Structure 1
Amino acid sequence: MPEKPDGDGRHRSSLDPVPYRVVVCRDCCCGTSKVTGVDHAAQIERLRAAVPVRISDCLDACDQANVVVVRPSAAGRAAGARPVWLGLVNDPDATEDIAAWVRAGGPGVAPLPDILGLYVFTPPRRRATG
Protein backbone atom coordinates (compact mmCIF):
# COMPACT_ATOMS: atom_id res chain seq x y z
CA MET A 1 0.00 0.00 0.00
CA PRO A 2 1.60 3.34 -1.01
CA GLU A 3 2.34 5.86 1.70
CA LYS A 4 2.48 9.64 1.64
CA PRO A 5 4.30 11.83 4.16
CA ASP A 6 2.07 13.99 6.28
CA GLY A 7 2.73 17.33 7.95
CA ASP A 8 4.51 15.71 10.89
CA GLY A 9 6.93 13.78 8.68
CA ARG A 10 5.11 10.53 9.41
CA HIS A 11 3.76 8.34 6.66
CA ARG A 12 0.19 7.32 6.12
CA SER A 13 -1.55 5.06 3.70
CA SER A 14 -2.84 6.84 0.61
CA LEU A 15 -6.03 4.82 1.14
CA ASP A 16 -6.58 6.23 4.65
CA PRO A 17 -9.59 8.56 4.24
CA VAL A 18 -8.88 10.50 7.47
CA PRO A 19 -5.20 10.71 8.29
CA TYR A 20 -5.91 12.82 11.38
CA ARG A 21 -8.81 12.42 13.75
CA VAL A 22 -7.85 15.33 16.01
CA VAL A 23 -6.53 18.77 15.07
CA VAL A 24 -4.97 20.83 17.85
CA CYS A 25 -4.39 24.54 17.44
CA ARG A 26 -0.92 25.69 18.46
CA ASP A 27 -0.09 29.21 17.37
CA CYS A 28 -0.55 32.70 18.74
CA CYS A 29 -2.67 31.83 21.78
CA CYS A 30 -3.35 28.10 21.92
CA GLY A 31 -0.42 26.14 23.26
CA THR A 32 1.42 29.21 24.51
CA SER A 33 2.12 30.81 27.86
CA LYS A 34 -0.96 33.00 27.27
CA VAL A 35 -2.95 29.97 28.46
CA THR A 36 -1.43 29.43 31.89
CA GLY A 37 -1.39 26.34 34.05
CA VAL A 38 -1.53 23.89 31.13
CA ASP A 39 1.14 21.38 30.19
CA HIS A 40 0.69 21.88 26.46
CA ALA A 41 3.25 19.24 25.48
CA ALA A 42 1.60 16.65 27.74
CA GLN A 43 -1.78 17.44 26.18
CA ILE A 44 -0.45 16.67 22.69
CA GLU A 45 1.35 13.57 23.94
CA ARG A 46 -1.80 12.22 25.59
CA LEU A 47 -3.96 12.81 22.52
CA ARG A 48 -1.32 11.25 20.24
CA ALA A 49 -1.32 8.15 22.45
CA ALA A 50 -5.00 7.70 21.58
CA VAL A 51 -5.32 8.89 17.98
CA PRO A 52 -3.48 10.53 15.07
CA VAL A 53 -3.10 14.25 15.78
CA ARG A 54 -2.28 17.16 13.51
CA ILE A 55 -0.87 20.38 14.92
CA SER A 56 -2.39 23.42 13.21
CA ASP A 57 -1.49 27.04 12.93
CA CYS A 58 -4.08 29.48 14.26
CA LEU A 59 -7.68 28.34 13.79
CA ASP A 60 -8.98 31.89 14.38
CA ALA A 61 -10.73 31.06 17.63
CA CYS A 62 -8.28 32.63 20.07
CA ASP A 63 -10.99 33.44 22.59
CA GLN A 64 -11.50 29.67 22.96
CA ALA A 65 -7.82 28.70 23.50
CA ASN A 66 -6.88 25.82 23.66
CA VAL A 67 -8.87 24.61 20.66
CA VAL A 68 -9.21 20.95 19.69
CA VAL A 69 -11.19 19.82 16.63
CA VAL A 70 -12.36 16.19 16.50
CA ARG A 71 -12.94 14.97 12.96
CA PRO A 72 -15.34 12.11 12.30
CA SER A 73 -14.06 8.78 11.04
CA ALA A 74 -15.24 7.41 7.69
CA ALA A 75 -18.10 5.69 9.54
CA GLY A 76 -18.95 8.93 11.32
CA ARG A 77 -18.97 10.88 8.06
CA ALA A 78 -21.20 8.21 6.51
CA ALA A 79 -23.58 8.82 9.41
CA GLY A 80 -23.59 12.56 8.61
CA ALA A 81 -21.25 13.73 11.36
CA ARG A 82 -19.25 16.93 11.02
CA PRO A 83 -16.11 18.00 12.88
CA VAL A 84 -16.71 18.96 16.51
CA TRP A 85 -14.91 22.07 17.75
CA LEU A 86 -13.96 22.08 21.43
CA GLY A 87 -12.68 25.19 23.16
CA LEU A 88 -11.08 26.02 26.48
CA VAL A 89 -9.55 22.54 26.62
CA ASN A 90 -7.21 23.50 29.43
CA ASP A 91 -7.70 20.65 31.87
CA PRO A 92 -6.07 17.20 31.77
CA ASP A 93 -9.47 15.61 32.48
CA ALA A 94 -10.91 17.24 29.35
CA THR A 95 -8.02 15.86 27.32
CA GLU A 96 -8.71 12.38 28.74
CA ASP A 97 -12.42 12.73 27.92
CA ILE A 98 -11.57 13.67 24.31
CA ALA A 99 -9.17 10.73 23.96
CA ALA A 100 -11.77 8.31 25.35
CA TRP A 101 -14.51 9.65 23.05
CA VAL A 102 -12.32 9.34 19.96
CA ARG A 103 -11.28 5.80 20.92
CA ALA A 104 -15.00 4.97 21.28
CA GLY A 105 -15.63 6.19 17.72
CA GLY A 106 -16.04 9.96 18.01
CA PRO A 107 -18.55 12.08 16.07
CA GLY A 108 -21.33 10.13 14.39
CA VAL A 109 -20.33 6.85 16.02
CA ALA A 110 -20.20 7.43 19.78
CA PRO A 111 -22.43 9.92 21.56
CA LEU A 112 -20.73 13.11 22.71
CA PRO A 113 -20.14 12.78 26.47
CA ASP A 114 -22.20 15.32 28.40
CA ILE A 115 -19.06 16.81 29.93
CA LEU A 116 -17.58 17.52 26.50
CA GLY A 117 -20.80 19.27 25.52
CA LEU A 118 -19.62 22.08 27.79
CA TYR A 119 -16.60 22.62 25.52
CA VAL A 120 -18.39 22.60 22.15
CA PHE A 121 -18.53 25.87 20.23
CA THR A 122 -19.36 26.99 16.71
CA PRO A 123 -16.19 27.84 14.81
CA PRO A 124 -15.71 31.27 13.33
CA ARG A 125 -16.27 31.68 9.63
CA ARG A 126 -13.07 32.27 7.72
CA ARG A 127 -12.97 35.47 5.75
CA ALA A 128 -12.35 35.19 2.05
CA THR A 129 -9.10 36.79 1.00
CA GLY A 130 -8.32 38.49 -2.26
Structure 2
Amino acid sequence: MRNYVTVCRGCCCGTTKKHPDYDHEAQLARLQEVAAQSGGTVRLRVADCLDACESSNVIVVKPAGAKPVWLGFVLHDAIMDDLEKWLRNGGPMPEVLELNRITPPKQ
Protein backbone atom coordinates (compact mmCIF):
# COMPACT_ATOMS: atom_id res chain seq x y z
CA MET A 1 0.00 0.00 0.00
CA ARG A 2 1.41 3.32 -1.05
CA ASN A 3 0.79 6.74 0.46
CA TYR A 4 1.34 9.73 -1.76
CA VAL A 5 2.24 12.85 0.19
CA THR A 6 2.19 16.32 -1.31
CA VAL A 7 3.65 19.16 0.69
CA CYS A 8 2.90 22.73 -0.32
CA ARG A 9 5.85 25.07 -0.56
CA GLY A 10 4.36 28.07 -2.35
CA CYS A 11 3.97 31.66 -1.30
CA CYS A 12 2.60 30.98 2.20
CA CYS A 13 3.40 27.36 2.99
CA GLY A 14 7.03 26.68 3.60
CA THR A 15 8.18 30.25 3.88
CA THR A 16 9.22 32.38 6.80
CA LYS A 17 7.12 35.23 5.40
CA LYS A 18 3.93 33.94 7.01
CA HIS A 19 5.38 31.69 9.75
CA PRO A 20 8.79 33.07 10.74
CA ASP A 21 9.06 30.92 13.88
CA TYR A 22 8.64 27.55 12.15
CA ASP A 23 11.48 25.57 10.57
CA HIS A 24 10.03 24.76 7.17
CA GLU A 25 13.24 23.20 5.89
CA ALA A 26 13.33 20.78 8.85
CA GLN A 27 9.71 19.83 8.13
CA LEU A 28 10.50 19.05 4.51
CA ALA A 29 13.66 17.14 5.50
CA ARG A 30 11.63 15.09 7.96
CA LEU A 31 9.13 14.13 5.25
CA GLN A 32 11.96 13.31 2.86
CA GLU A 33 13.49 11.03 5.49
CA VAL A 34 10.17 9.23 6.04
CA ALA A 35 9.85 8.69 2.30
CA ALA A 36 13.45 7.52 1.95
CA GLN A 37 13.08 5.01 4.79
CA SER A 38 9.69 3.73 3.67
CA GLY A 39 10.88 1.22 1.11
CA GLY A 40 8.73 2.91 -1.51
CA THR A 41 5.48 2.93 0.50
CA VAL A 42 5.62 6.72 0.91
CA ARG A 43 6.08 8.91 -2.15
CA LEU A 44 6.73 12.60 -1.56
CA ARG A 45 6.01 15.46 -3.94
CA VAL A 46 6.59 19.15 -3.41
CA ALA A 47 3.97 21.46 -4.91
CA ASP A 48 4.49 25.14 -5.56
CA CYS A 49 0.98 26.03 -4.38
CA LEU A 50 -2.11 24.01 -3.45
CA ASP A 51 -4.36 27.10 -3.31
CA ALA A 52 -5.14 26.72 0.40
CA CYS A 53 -2.93 29.57 1.65
CA GLU A 54 -5.32 30.48 4.47
CA SER A 55 -4.53 27.08 6.03
CA SER A 56 -0.76 26.97 5.58
CA ASN A 57 1.27 24.83 6.02
CA VAL A 58 -0.71 22.35 3.95
CA ILE A 59 0.11 18.68 3.46
CA VAL A 60 -2.06 16.26 1.47
CA VAL A 61 -1.89 12.52 2.09
CA LYS A 62 -3.42 10.22 -0.52
CA PRO A 63 -3.59 6.72 0.97
CA ALA A 64 -3.86 3.87 -1.53
CA GLY A 65 -7.51 3.23 -2.37
CA ALA A 66 -8.80 6.19 -0.36
CA LYS A 67 -9.61 9.84 -0.91
CA PRO A 68 -6.90 12.42 -0.23
CA VAL A 69 -6.72 13.83 3.28
CA TRP A 70 -5.96 17.55 3.35
CA LEU A 71 -4.20 18.74 6.48
CA GLY A 72 -3.71 22.39 7.30
CA PHE A 73 -1.88 24.37 9.94
CA VAL A 74 0.89 21.78 10.09
CA LEU A 75 3.16 24.05 12.09
CA HIS A 76 4.14 22.09 15.20
CA ASP A 77 6.39 19.14 15.87
CA ALA A 78 3.54 17.33 17.66
CA ILE A 79 1.48 17.41 14.44
CA MET A 80 4.46 16.17 12.47
CA ASP A 81 4.95 13.38 15.03
CA ASP A 82 1.38 12.19 14.43
CA LEU A 83 1.73 12.52 10.66
CA GLU A 84 5.02 10.65 10.67
CA LYS A 85 3.56 7.87 12.82
CA TRP A 86 0.66 7.51 10.36
CA LEU A 87 2.97 7.38 7.35
CA ARG A 88 5.40 4.93 8.95
CA ASN A 89 2.65 2.60 10.24
CA GLY A 90 0.56 2.78 7.07
CA GLY A 91 -2.64 3.84 8.80
CA PRO A 92 -5.15 4.42 10.04
CA MET A 93 -4.91 8.17 10.37
CA PRO A 94 -4.53 9.16 14.03
CA GLU A 95 -7.77 10.73 15.30
CA VAL A 96 -5.89 13.75 16.60
CA LEU A 97 -5.10 14.75 12.99
CA GLU A 98 -8.82 15.35 12.44
CA LEU A 99 -8.15 18.68 14.16
CA ASN A 100 -5.95 19.63 11.20
CA ARG A 101 -8.21 18.31 8.46
CA ILE A 102 -9.29 21.00 6.01
CA THR A 103 -11.61 21.10 3.02
CA PRO A 104 -9.70 21.16 -0.27
CA PRO A 105 -10.09 24.30 -2.37
CA LYS A 106 -12.62 24.26 -5.20
CA GLN A 107 -10.98 23.47 -8.53
TM tier relative to shorter chain: 0.7 to 0.9
Q: What is the aligned-residue identity percentage? A: 46
Give the aligned residue type for 1:93: A
Cα offset for 1:93?
Answer: 1.6
Indicate the structure with greater helix content.
Answer: 2
User: Where do 4+ consecutive residues of structure 1 move more than 2 Å?
Assistant: none
Give the aligned residue type for 2:15: T
Where does structure 2 lack aligned partners over 5 or more consecutive residues? Answer: 36-42
Quote the Cα distance in structure 1 between the aligned partners of 2:92 and 2:63: 12
Quote the Cα distance in structure 2 between the aligned partners of 1:125 and 1:112: 24
Give the aligned residue type for 1:69: V
Match of 2:80 among 95, 102, 109: 95
Give per-residue Cα distances to partners, 1:64-110, cap 9 Å, x unaligned: 0000001113xxx0xxx1110000000012112111101111xxxx2
Residue 84 of structure 1 is matched in structure 2 by 69
- The structure with the larger Rg is 1
Residue 123 of structure 1 is matched in structure 2 by 104
The number of aligned residues is 99
SS at match of 2:81: helix
Residue 111 of structure 1 is matched in structure 2 by 92
Quote the Cα distance in structure 1 between the aligned partners of 2:81 and 2:30: 8
Residue 49 of structure 2 is matched in structure 1 by 58
Where does structure 1 lack aligned partners over 5 or more consecutive residues? Answer: 1-16
Cα offset for 1:118?
Answer: 0.4
Residue 49 of structure 1 is matched in structure 2 by 33
Query: What is the aligned-residue RMSD (CA, Å)?
Result: 1.6
Query: RCO (CA 8 Å, sep 6+): is it higher in 1 or 2?
Result: 2
Quote the Cα distance in structure 1 between the aligned partners of 2:44 and 2:92: 21
Quote the Cα distance in structure 2 between the aligned partners of 1:89 and 1:64: 9
